[in-house]
Structure formats: C-alpha cells, structure tokens
C-alpha cells in the first residue's frame, strides 16, 4: 500500500452533518438580530411595563452593532 492510497478519502465523506441544536441556535440568533435591528416600538409596546427598558436595550444594541438609528 502506498502512502497516497492510505490518505485517499471518498468524495462526500468529508461532509459533516450539522446537529439539530446548531440550526435552532442559528435561527434564534437571526431572529434576535432581526428584532434588535427592526424594533421601532411594536415589540416593546407589547410587553407592558418593561417596554421602555426593552426599547432602550434594543436601541443601545443597535449602537453596539453599528447600525445608525438616528
């Protein structure tokens, strides 16, 4: 057996499947990122008493990721 034969890999065998929790984590991260980017009062108005605090946190989050908001 030659050294090159020992290192041969079948096509497609190097692909790894992603676990289900990784797809869920990615979906939650995208949803959270979208909410922070697009929140203009509707989300924070729906939560009641903590709405103004949530709005300010999202506002500061937009500044943190570099999105101009005013």
Q: What is the pLDDT along the chain (70 residues), one digit of tens a residue?
A: 555 555 565 665 556 788 889 999 999 999 988 877 777 767 777 777 777 888 888 888 888 888 777 7
pLDDT at residue 22, rounded to an integer: 93
Residue 33 is encoded by which pair of tokens?
A: 């990122």
Say how many residues make up the chain: 70
Using only the alpha carbons of the chain, give its radius of gyration: 22
Classify residue 51 as exposed, middle or buried by CB count within 10 Å of its CB (0-12, 13-18, 19+).
middle
pLDDT at residue 4, rounded to an integer: 57
pLDDT at residue 13, rounded to an integer: 55
pLDDT at residue 19, rounded to an integer: 87
Token look-up 């979906």 returns 27
């Amino acid at each position: 057996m030659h050294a090159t034969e020992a290192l041969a890999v079948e096509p497609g065998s190097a692909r790894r499947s992603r676990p289900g929790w990784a797809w869920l984590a990615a979906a939650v991260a995208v949803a959270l990122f979208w909410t922070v980017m697009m929140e203009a009062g509707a989300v924070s108005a729906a939560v009641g008493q903590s709405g103004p605090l949530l709005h300010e946190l999202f506002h500061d989050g937009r500044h943190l990721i570099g999105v101009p908001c005013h």
